């Protein structure tokens, strides 16, 4: 597509429920990243997919968080047994492969756990 698309744009869920967040990167971008941004805070790295290589999962905060990327395109971030501290904006970005490739961000999913 023309840009990075994320869905849903807003999600309200009850504590303890599972949620799935979706990211559709720019066509041809083989690198895909997930970040989390709490209100008024910086961007916290979660996970990074690069082509067919094993993903860099070093930023996932707990085993309740997981992500997959099917067919080298769409990615899904899953949060199991959501907690109130999971409330944040989840941002996805994609880029070309390479040390000098900048990101294009999606508009994010605002997750609220009540």
Partner 1 sequence: GENVEQHPSTLSVQEGDSAVIKCTYSDSASNYFPWYKQELGKRPQLIIDIRSNVGEKKDQRIAVTLNKTAKHFSLHITETQPEDSAVYFCAPRDNQGGKLIFGQGTELSVKP
For residues 17 and 101, which CB has a smaller minimum distance to partner 1 in the complex?
101
Q: Are 66 and 91 in contact (CB under 8 A)?
A: no
What span, in angstroms and rounded, lies between the C-alpha atoms of 46 and 5? Answer: 18
Which H helix or E strand runs over 68? strand 65-69
The answer to whether residue 7 forms part of the interface with partner 1 (CB under 8 A) is no
- Sign of the Cα torsion 104, 74, 49, 80 reads positive
Nearer to partner 1, 43 or 74 (CB): 43
Determine if 33 is a binding residue for partner 1 (CB under 8 A): yes
Binding mask 42-81 for partner 1 (x = CB under 8 A): xx-x--x-x-----x-x-----------------------
Beta strands per DSSP E along 4-87: 5-7, 10-13, 19-24, 31-37, 44-50, 65-69, 75-79
Using CB under 8 A as the binding rule, whether residue 107 contacts partner 1 is answered as: yes
State the minimum distance, in angstroms, from the CB of residue 17 to partner 1: 26
Among 35, 69, 94, 111, binds partner 1 (CB under 8 A): 35
């Amino acid at each position: 597509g023309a840009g990075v698309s994320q869905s849903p744009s807003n999600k309200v869920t009850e504590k303890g429920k599972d949620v799935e967040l979706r990211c559709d990167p720019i066509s041809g971008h083989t690198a895909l990243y997930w970040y989390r941004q709490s209100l008024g805070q910086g961007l916290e790295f979660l996970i990074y997919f690069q082509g067919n290589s094993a993903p860099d999962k070093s930023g996932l905060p707990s085993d309740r968080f997981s992500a997959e990327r099917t067919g080298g395109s769409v990615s899904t971030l899953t949060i199991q047994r959501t907690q109130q501290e999971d409330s944040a904006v989840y941002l996805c970005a994609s880029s070309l492969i390479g040390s000098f490739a900048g990101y294009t961000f999606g508009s994010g999913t605002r997750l609220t756990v009540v």
